[in-house]
Amino acid sequence: MVKVLITKSRINGIIRCPSSKSYSHRAIAIASLVDGESIVKNPLFSRDTLATISACKALGVGIRQDNFVVHIKGRHSFAVPENVVNVDNSGTTIRLMTTMSALVKNGSTVLTGDESLRKRPMQPLLDSLSKLGVLAYSTKMDGTPPLIVRGGGIKGGTTVVDGSVSSQFVSSLLISCIYAGSTVVLRIKGDQVSRPYIASTLATMKAFGVRVHNENFREYHLPSASYRPTNFDVPGDLSSAALILAAGLTLGEELTVTGINFHLPQADSEILDIIKAMGGKIKVDRQKGEIRVFGTEQLSGGEFDLSDTPDLLPVVSTLALKAKTPVKITGIGHARLKETDRIANIASQLTKVGATVKEGSNELLISSPKNLKNASLESFNDHRLFMAFTIVAMLTKKSTVAGVESVDVSYPNFVQDLVELGGNIKPTVDRE
């Protein structure tokens, strides 16, 4: 992995928030299911979203990029792919594509990805599809990719899916099952994690003309319906903005993030309440779509349940290094099933800089040190960990962080943006 050398920095200025990865995935997938042409404006072009574009093209969808606009000529009866569909590292892509692949008219689709993705759990979705008349299975028979999905359509009926592992299983079923042969009733067992991400799916479906009856995220009724051609403008990504806001709070004097659409639901809007609860200085202008934070010498600790917002784990863990009392982060067991085991990896790396970290199966307890130590930090090729640890390193006098190449998954310009805001980040000659 490629390392960067980072020295103590001050972060100030104005920056536009990158486009939302979650909404980009959803808009591209849904537009691919429209019988007609849709336009997706300002999507995020990253390794993950390009995987979704590539996968949809493999199903016979016509997709053309024109600067910051993507023209999509969709179809809800897909062609069988000419080759194996490789989604690289994108868990969202493989989960959305699994159900979409059931709409292939004839033949089977093979879905795979990189080494990390081939460890991601898929069995709850495969089991749920089986109840709807879809034959889909793991080639290793262990519930992980590669997957084979038999085409021929989704019959419909009632199915159940485990909500405790990932909300993406639910989103996958919601997006494609409106094209089932009969009404689909989707019931959730277990505690549903990351519910705001499902709200984002429902909001995108609504923008494309389909409303779904939702009973408190426990049961969904999907009648036979069709999406309509739509022009969809992707909002700014609060997942990425949260990292920049954390940098502004811990390292800056005044920093403004623009380009936020507060009218569409986003899970990581929770960061605004967390910052306030920790005593951070923040101003939000919902009309202008701006968030302004002010450097804070010391934050307050507290307990934060991230069961609905797992991507905020690296952010809150970073803020904990400025807290005068311990920070307890709960509801994060499903973060072990992301690109990496984020709980264990955050614990190991924050310990390097002097924090006292107690790791539980579903929680972290972080106590900040009086002085942060210099360290050589490892991101485990996890984009969100690299970005969080870059901010951690800027709090030290001189540290390195490995894995800069991972940021193209969600925020390709992350390092460049931080440098323009004042970050002292330079490549090193060290390679592992």
The set of residues, in sequence order, having a beta carbon less than 8 Å from that of 144 and lying 6+ positions away, is 118, 119, 120, 121, 122, 138
The letter for the amino acid at 94 is: I
Residue 120 has pLDDT above 90, yes or no: yes
What is the rounded CA–CA span in Å between residue 105 and residue 94? 19
3-state secondary structure of 83: coil
For residue 432, what pLDDT is reported?
43
Question: How far is 316 from 270, CA to CA, in rounded Å?
Answer: 11
pTM comes to 0.90
CA–CA separation, 296 and 292 (whole Å): 13
| Mean pLDDT of all residues in 15-28 | 95
Mean pLDDT (the chain) is 95
pLDDT digits (tens, 9 = 90+) for 380-422: 999 999 999 999 999 999 999 999 999 999 999 999 999 999 9
Q: Report the pLDDT value the prediction gives residue 121, as an integer from 0 to 100.
A: 95
Judge whether 24 and 266 are in contact, CB under 8 Å: no
Q: Per-residue pLDDT averaged across 187-202, rounded?
A: 94
In the prediction, which pLDDT does 30 show? 98
Q: Is 341 a catalytic residue?
A: no
**b vs e for 338-376, b when ≥16 Cβ sit within 10 Å of the residue's Cβ?**
bbbebbebbbebbebbbbebeeeeebbbbbbeeebebbe
Apex 310 CA angle, 316 and 350, nearest 5: 40
> pLDDT at position 431, please?
45
pLDDT, position 290: 96
pLDDT for residue 190: 92
Which residue in the list 88, 311, 382, 417 is annotated as catalytic? Answer: 311
